[in-house]
Amino acid sequence: MAPEPPATRAQCEALDAADPLAFARARFRLPAGVTYLDGNSLGALPADTPARVARTVEREWGEGLIGSWNAAGWIDQPQRLGARIAPLVGASADEVVCADSTSINLFKLAAAALKLRPGRPVILADAEDFPTDLYMLQGLAGLVGGVEVRALPEAAWGEALAGADVALLVSSHVNYRTGAVRDMAGWTARAHAAGALALWDLSHSAGAIVVELDACEADFAIGCGYKYLNGGPGAPAWLYVARRWQAEAQNPLSGWLGHAAPFAFEPGYREGEGMARWLCGTPSVLGMAALEAGLDTFDGVDMAAVEAKAQALCALFAATVEREAPGVFGSALPQGARRASHVSLRHPDGYAMVQALIAEGVVGDFRAPDILRFGFTPLYLGHAQVFDAACKVAEMAMSGRWRDPRFSVRAAVT
Ligand SMILES: *Cc1c(COP(=O)(O)O)cnc(C)c1O
């Protein structure tokens, strides 16, 4: 059992004074007066990122010009950054590469999985997954023909796998709405027992909780660079292919940088070795520079400590809101589910409440239809700050200040 969350600010201050991750706070640049509870959607700016990006632009690009592909190691960025993400997700350095977006990486790997399981026409997906994952699978099915995307709630997966027609199970490890963690080892084993493969989306897990891709025997995984990895808006994503599939699995987006010899300029495609074949076109060098600075924020950071602190902050926040505003919010976390690193409260006026909180310096986000989502990134948040934010959420909800019509105006990004 986890310990009871602290009930007073003084207890929170004592926890902060003993926090083994307190050193990491200085690695970020956050505006004064803001409690940022949205690192699960866009990680905060690392203190080193502006200088790193400026160096890449001014020195490497401005002075080094095209020579920087070699001299500054631009061409090796996808593998170099992949090797840095690998230990955060329980993978080996040669099983991860940085490329493209999460959506595109999902497409590449799901297509590869279908080819590895001929005669099995079903992709089993989580009906509650982040929509782009479902959309990309639908697009893939439309392209290859004869393939069905069966999007089902987790409770129906077991029965679906029993049908012997499933090629691939695709799911997020952490549900983006509720914050619930799926049993990666268990579901991967059940998929394998049914003759299917498993592809995990780690967008809400990488850098947030302990992930053990190799130990879980996952086949494939993908994830995002701009959430907990702090790579900046639109940062490059990454993908994982278990070593046992690397010789056989094929990238359907056979671009020149995935070729065995890109600079031989041969007319025919020959796939590269290892993870190199999962590249498509030219890497986004400026985005990768920022992502590298984001990954530096994990230097010397123990993921078990990150997960433990995230759990403690989530529990503190949820308990404090409930104590200060009893019964006002519902919880989106299913009964008995393990929570990752964000707390999702439910309220029919959640959108306006989130906007009002942002106006008063507590930044969370809203997910339709009724979820107020608050992410807890242990590298830059402390217990006392989270205690204060929870009191603020409760006070705001009870005050009715959120009823001001300006808080109900919907922006494009919620
Ligand atoms: C954030 C997120 C994505 C984002 O995909 P992009 O291609 O980077 O826009 C995909 N899947 C999940 C589960 C996510 O949480």
pLDDT (tens digit per residue) in 226-272: 999 999 999 999 999 999 999 999 999 999 999 999 999 999 999 99
pTM, full prediction: 0.97
**Dihedral pair phi/psi, residue 28, rounded to 5°:** -125, 155
115 given a catalytic annotation: no
135 given a catalytic annotation: no
pLDDT, residue 1, reads 53
Q: Which atom of ligand 1 is least distant from the CA of 227?
A: 1
Task: Give CA–CA dist 285/78, Å, rounded.
Answer: 9
Check whether 6 has a pLDDT greater than 90: yes
Residue 206's nearest CA partner among 48, 81, 107 is: 81
pLDDT, residue 340, reads 95
Determine what percent of the chain is predicted with pLDDT higher than 70: 100
Residue 234's nearest CA partner among 104, 362, 140 is: 104
Check whether 125 has a pLDDT greater than 90: yes
Average pLDDT over residues 170-199: 97
pLDDT, residue 411, reads 87
Task: Give CA–CA dist 282/275, Å, rounded.
Answer: 15
CB 201 less than 6 A from any atom of ligand 1:
yes
pLDDT (tens digit per residue) in 134-162: 999 999 999 999 999 999 999 999 999 99
CB 377 less than 6 A from any atom of ligand 1:
no
227 given a catalytic annotation: yes
pLDDT, residue 184, reads 98
pLDDT, residue 269, reads 98
Task: Give CA–CA dist 25/8, Å, rounded.
Answer: 22
Task: Give CA–CA dist 34/51, Å, rounded.
Answer: 23
Residue 84: band (very low, low, confident or very high) from pLDDT cuts 50, 70, 90 = very high
Strand ranges in 104-232 using DSSP code E only, listed in sequence order: 122-126, 148-152, 166-172, 197-201, 220-223
Best mutation site among 109, 136, 176 for ligand 1 pocket (most ligand atoms within 8 Å of CB): 176
Marked catalytic residue, from 298, 351, 373, 407: 373
Report strand pairing: 371-375 vs 365-367: antiparallel
373 given a catalytic annotation: yes
pLDDT (tens digit per residue) in 338-383: 999 999 999 999 999 999 999 999 999 999 999 999 999 999 999 9
Marked catalytic residue, from 177, 227, 277, 367: 227
